Structure 1
Amino acid sequence: MAFTERSEPTRTAILSAARKLLTEQGYDGTTIRAVAAEVGIDPSMVMRYYGSKAGLFSAAVDVKLHLDEVPKVPANKLGEPLARHFLTRWEGDPSDEAIILLLRSAATNGVAAEHMRTIFDTQVARFVRRRIGTGADGTRRAGLVSSQLLGLALTRYVVPLSPVVKMNLDAVVSSVSPVLQYYLTGNLGSAVKARRKATTGS
């Protein structure tokens, strides 16, 4: 539906309540009725604005990765600013807590997992195409970059691993940057050949 300026406070309250309940109870434990009760409105109002629980969830975790803000540097130096961009946003901008909430939900819910895939498939893939190149190789590189970033978020914020959590931001950036750089511009084919050679001995 078309939103009006008058409806904005209600929509903001609904999304805030949805994020709170999703954090506390997860996707499966959060209901339209509970969100409405948190705001003090009728459940039909939530449905009016968002149509369904899935629609409400998508709006509550409408994640923008802001990859256009990654500094313009040569492709062979892109790993460090990309890593720093994600870490700085995740740890310095409260609005980006949505991606952590989404990651928590995606671990146990198919709707959330599909939403996460869509975000990274589109935004990261578009970034890699613009900065590195196009085609199947670009798609593969984008997938590998996403796997590294999501794994980092998982082990630093969702299922905290002590060695990862204890590292300061600069230490994480310096550790992760070479991996991202390899995924972005490294010779991925040579790694496959090396593994095959090690396996076959020829």
Structure 2
Amino acid sequence: MLDNRPPAPRRSDTTRAAILEAARERFAADGYDRATIRAIAKDASIDPSMVMRYYGSKEGLFAAAVAVDLKLPDLGALHRDEAGQTLVSHFLDMWEGNEVLTALLRVGVTNQAGTERSRGIFRDQLLPVVRQVCPDPEQAPARAALTATQLLGLALTRYVLRFPPAVALSREEVVAWLGPTVQRYLTAPHP
């Protein structure tokens, strides 16, 4: 008789997953500099040597813990006037309860490795999406940067610093307020 159950996860896969989960939570809570391999290992209920075995260094662990695919929508498939609201809605969906993005934001402003990771995500993921709707390809980097200021500013005040008025806004209010601003950055004529 054939056993149709999926194979049980290997112990190393379970250990890696526990390490990454603990690292994301620790980096999000403490930032890169204050998060330690020892604390992450304790949170994952393993020996610190196992963290080093799987990830080699704190930098290697951080890179694995904050690997991010933003799964950005194809703005070229939308009516151009929907791009701003679509991006704001998408980022709200991504940020809600996502400790990876929170960790990346916290570490991105305090540590060179985090800064470089954030720049890579901007370059490789946001910039190509902005190019889909930007009226002048030469302006795409500036327009993407302005878009990032709004989206990261929202994330910082709502999910990291937790400013009460930013947290209190409903999803619909955030999209209504921020969508037109992002839309202007994406498609308005150059001033």
TM-score range, shorter chain: 0.7 to 0.9
Post-superposition CA distance 1:155-198 (Å, at most 9, x none) = 1111233332221110110000111111110112x2xxxxxxxx
- Partner residue in 2 for 1:27: 32
Does the Cα contact within 8 Å between 2:143 and 2:186 map onto a contact in 1? Answer: yes
Partner of 2:171: 169
- Are 1:46 and 2:48 matched, yes or no? no
Q: Does 1:108 align with 2:113?
A: no
For the Cα contact (< 8 Å) 1:83–1:173, is it kept in 2?
A: yes
Which residue of the partner structure matches residue 157 of structure 2?
A: 155
Task: After superposing the two structures, state which structure 1 stretch, 150-159 or 70-79, moved more.
Answer: 70-79
CA RMSD of aligned residues (A): 2.2
Q: CA deviation at 1:130?
A: 3.2
Query: CA–CA distance in 2 between the matches of 1:51 and 1:134?
Result: 44
Alpha-carbon deviation of 1:21?
A: 2.1
Preserved CA contact (<8 Å) 1:71 1:81? no
Moved over 6 A (4+): none
Paired with 2:183 and 2:174, the residues of 1 have a C-alpha distance of 14
Deviation at 1:68, TM superposition (A): 3.3
C-alpha deviation, 1:131, in angstroms: 4.0
Distance 2:56 2:80 in 1: 42
**Which among 154, 170, 187 is matched to residue 185 of structure 1?**
187
Distance apart, 1:133 and its partner CA: 6.2
Show CA shifts across 1:86-137 (max 9, x none).
Answer: 112322xx3x331112112223222212211211222100111234367331
| Kept after mapping to 1: 8 A contact 2:76/2:132 | no
Could you say which residue in structure 1 is the equivalent of 2:140? 138
**Paired position in structure 1 for 2:65:** 60
Give the match's secondary structure for 1:108.
coil
User: For residues 133 and 185 of structure 2, what CA distance do their matches in structure 1 show?
Assistant: 13
Q: For residues 50 and 134 of structure 1, what CA distance do their matches in structure 2 show?
A: 42
* TM superposition shift of 1:143: 1.1
Q: Gapped runs of 5+ residues in structure 1?
A: 191-202
Contact 2:19 2:41 in 1 (8 A): yes
The structure where helix makes up a greater share of residues is 1
Gaps of 5+ in 2: 1-8
Greater displacement, 49-58 / 169-178: 49-58
Go from structure 1 to structure 2 and tell me whether the alpha carbon gap of 1:160 and 1:39 turns closer, same or farther (over 3 Å shift). closer
User: Secondary structure at 2:77's aligned position in 1?
Assistant: coil
Structure 1 Cα separation of the partners of residues 103 and 152 of structure 2: 12
Report which stretch shifted further, 8-17 or 112-121.
112-121
Give the alignment's TM-score, normalised by structure 2.
Answer: 0.84
Q: Which residue of 1 aligns with 2:17?
A: 12
Count of residue correspondences: 182
- Give the deviation of 1:70 after TM superposition: 6.4
1: distance between equivalents of 2:75 and 2:153?
20
Give the distance between the partners of 1:87 and 1:37, measured in 2 at CA.
32
Indicate the percent of aligned positions where both proteins have the same amino acid.
46
The letter for the 1-side match of 2:123 is D
TM-score by length of 1: 0.80
Is the CA contact (8 Å cut-off) linking 1:75 and 1:132 kept in structure 2?
A: no
